[in-house]
Chain A
Amino acid sequence: MNVGALRKALDRREISAVELATYYLDRIAQLDPQLKAFITVPRAEVLQMAAAADRRIATQEDVTALTGIPVAIKDNICTEGIRTTCASRLLADFYPIYDATVVAKLKQAGAVLLGKTNLDEFAMGSTTKESFYGLTRNPWDRQRVAGGSSGGSAVAVAAGMAPLALGSDTGGSIRQPAAFCGVWGLKPTYGRVSRYGLVPYAPSFDQIGPMARSGWDLFLLFRGIAGYDPLDPTSLPASVEAEGDLSGSIRGLRVGLPREFFGAGLDGRIKERVLAVAKVLAEAGCELMELSLPSMAYALPAYYLLAYAEASSSMARYDGVRYGIREGAEQGIVGMMTATRQSLGLEVKRRILLGTYFLSADCYEECYQQAQKVRTWMKQDFAAAYSRCDLLLTPTTAAPAFRIEGEAEDEPVLALTEQYTVAANLTGNPALSFPCGWINHLPVGAQLMGPAGTDELLLRVAAVYTENAPGEAVPERTARDVGEQIEV
């Protein structure tokens, strides 16, 4: 059932918010021991929030599109009084004293926070294997990765354990797991959604965004979290329309197909499905054009250099003084910091060390500064492309979800999962992944990118595609089918 249908059922009192929350809590209890999409599910608090939503609905006071609707939250987004671990041992007992702005907005709207979802430790990874609390499995094939780092949120939505979820996206962490799990995921324009209360990985790249089972559901959640926030100095003043829908013609829109996203390394079957999306858009009146983005050849190296440099700085706060665990206090202050940080996982350590190296005198000028220039070049390169077309259509990933053992250890395979997504983070532009078909029962995602501020346009175009190609776009198996595959 989509969020619109849940809204109607709640408003007509066919179901209460408590009953709805109980349904999802039971489904989590049934499926999650196998999938591990959640780290924390605070059952008592969930039911309290649902009861409060029922009171709002009963009195018809302040009822919004999200009142009584359960939303899962990635566990790197602060929730007052609810444990926020970032999937790290270091924050196993961290209880934030404030809500992230997105969480405060959802609470104000009457949404029910269902639980905190699994991720790669501190959002550093693209598999959700790098979690201290166990790896998240892909519901369509449990021997395969969910993608990451928002793998828990993607699986929660795909397996029907939550109708909506929040993720965060630094280099593709919403869109890649969305593609691997057959759901929708939006990396908003940088600054449209407040980062206040998002535990930082690489602040000039990080964005919180919505994940859902349809374009309309995604739009509802996006509208609920977007908007200016004085607590985030990088927040954009752009307003968000309280009303509106995704209808409207897309006739005459110019859709670019950049060559660099369809070349070597791309699975031919994914190429075929994304070109089928282009065909549907052309039939709906869009004009297709091929173009080139030469700066893309350096997107991944630039991303690694800049994101890891920022990560090394962001992670300096975990020193055993203000929050998190403390170890080695008997070794003096430096010994304590070093011993405390020893508990971080290997992937986080890898990124901290690389970032420290990239910012060192050995590397700063030749690599770090050069990466900053490449980032500016990319911004200009994409701006030039957007002067010729309105948006870009690409695959989200070069291959479908890979096996947990074996392939996932191979660095080139991991790079292939990020090479099409990092551009939107480097340029700050919005990007959307939506389901566009299947390969051997594994979902495939297509990606739409546009200039800053075109988040709603991307959703509208993808919605038109879905409407006109339902057989391919709508997952061929329902959430219940996912549940039935899993022995409980």
Chain B
Amino acid sequence: MVLTEEKVRALAAIARLGITEEELTALTIALNRTCQYIAEIREAPVPEGITEAFGGEPTNTGREDQVLPSWPREAVLRNAPEQANLCFQTPRILED
């Protein structure tokens, strides 16, 4: 087994993902099954000279700067779970 429950719990912490104990058991099994399945890619006989640059050399798709109207702050905040003073409100991040 590549991934232990402890390791899955650590991954969930990195991903800021809440999982229950029941889910942890099910996910550990499922994750290992997928890892086993994808392991064969290590042996893929990729021809010489092939790189990771899937689309060829990157090109810049940027446009000329143009001043356009933006969204009103009220509209952007409309879906926010909590807001105050026309800003997104979060729990305290820094201590006093």
Partners in one complex: yes
- Chain A residues within CB distance 8 Å of chain B: 93-95, 97-98, 204, 230, 233-234, 294, 297-298, 300-302, 304-305, 312, 316, 319-326, 328-342, 344, 346, 349-350, 352-354, 356-357, 360, 366-367, 369-377, 379-380, 411, 415, 428
Contact of B41 among A326, A374, A380 (CB under 8 A): A374
Q: Which residue of A lies closest to B77 (CB)?
A: A322
Q: Say yes or no: B17 contacts A338, CB within 8 Å.
A: yes
The complex places the Cα of A149 from the Cα of B82 at a distance, in Å, of 31
* Neighbouring A residues of B51 by C-beta, 8 Å: 373, 376
Q: Say yes or no: B15 contacts A353, CB within 8 Å.
A: yes
Q: Say yes or no: A97 contacts B16, CB within 8 Å.
A: no
Question: Is B85 engaged at the interface, CB distance under 8 Å to the other chain?
Answer: no
How far in angstroms is the closest Cβ of chain B from A130?
A: 13
Q: A322-B79, A376-B53, A376-B54 are in contact. Are A350 and B30 (CB under 8 A)?
A: yes
Q: Say yes or no: B27 contacts A346, CB within 8 Å.
A: yes
Provide the main secondary structure of the chain B interface.
loop
Contact of A325 among B40, B50, B81 (CB under 8 A): B81
How far in angstroms is the closest Cβ of chain B from A175?
A: 21
Question: Is B38 engaged at the interface, CB distance under 8 Å to the other chain?
Answer: yes
Q: A356-B11, A376-B52 are in contact. Are A349 and B27 (CB under 8 A)?
A: yes
How far in angstroms is the closest Cβ of chain B from A22?
A: 31
The complex places the Cα of A94 from the Cα of B80 at a distance, in Å, of 9
How far in angstroms is the closest Cβ of chain B from A429?
A: 13
* Neighbouring B residues of A428 by C-beta, 8 Å: 55
* Neighbouring A residues of B17 by C-beta, 8 Å: 338, 341-342, 344, 349, 352-353
Question: Is B1 engaged at the interface, CB distance under 8 Å to the other chain?
Answer: no
Q: Say yes or no: A367 contacts B81, CB within 8 Å.
A: no
Q: Say yes or no: B79 contacts A352, CB within 8 Å.
A: no
Q: B61-72 CB contact bits vs A (8 Å, 1 = yes)? A: 101000000010
Q: Which residue of B lies closest to A230 (CB)?
A: B63
* Neighbouring A residues of B52 by C-beta, 8 Å: 369, 372-373, 376
* Neighbouring B residues of A326 by C-beta, 8 Å: 81-82
The complex places the Cα of A77 from the Cα of B54 at a distance, in Å, of 27
The complex places the Cα of A428 from the Cα of B23 at a distance, in Å, of 35
Interface size for B (C-beta < 8 A) is 50
* Neighbouring B residues of A234 by C-beta, 8 Å: 61
Closest 8 CB pairs of A and B: A342-B18, A326-B81, A372-B52, A323-B79, A301-B38, A337-B16, A301-B41, A298-B44
How far in angstroms is the closest Cβ of chain A from B80?
A: 6
Contact of A301 among B3, B37, B75 (CB under 8 A): B37
Q: A301-B41, A338-B16 are in contact. Are A324 and B81 (CB under 8 A)?
A: yes
* Neighbouring A residues of B40 by C-beta, 8 Å: 298, 301
Apart from A325-B81, A329-B91, A342-B19, list 12 A-B contacts with CB within 8 A. A97-B79, A204-B54, A230-B63, A294-B45, A321-B88, A333-B93, A338-B16, A353-B12, A354-B35, A357-B3, A376-B54, A377-B44
Q: Say yes or no: B15 contacts A376, CB within 8 Å.
A: no
Q: Say yes or no: B44 contacts A374, CB within 8 Å.
A: yes
**Which of A325, A370, A375 has most B Cβ within 10 Å?**
A370
Question: Is B86 engaged at the interface, CB distance under 8 Å to the other chain?
Answer: no
* Neighbouring A residues of B50 by C-beta, 8 Å: 373, 376-377, 380
* Neighbouring B residues of A304 by C-beta, 8 Å: 34, 37-38
The complex places the Cα of A377 from the Cα of B53 at a distance, in Å, of 10
The complex places the Cα of A328 from the Cα of B75 at a distance, in Å, of 25
**Which of B16, B44, B90, B91 has most A Cβ within 10 Å?**
B16
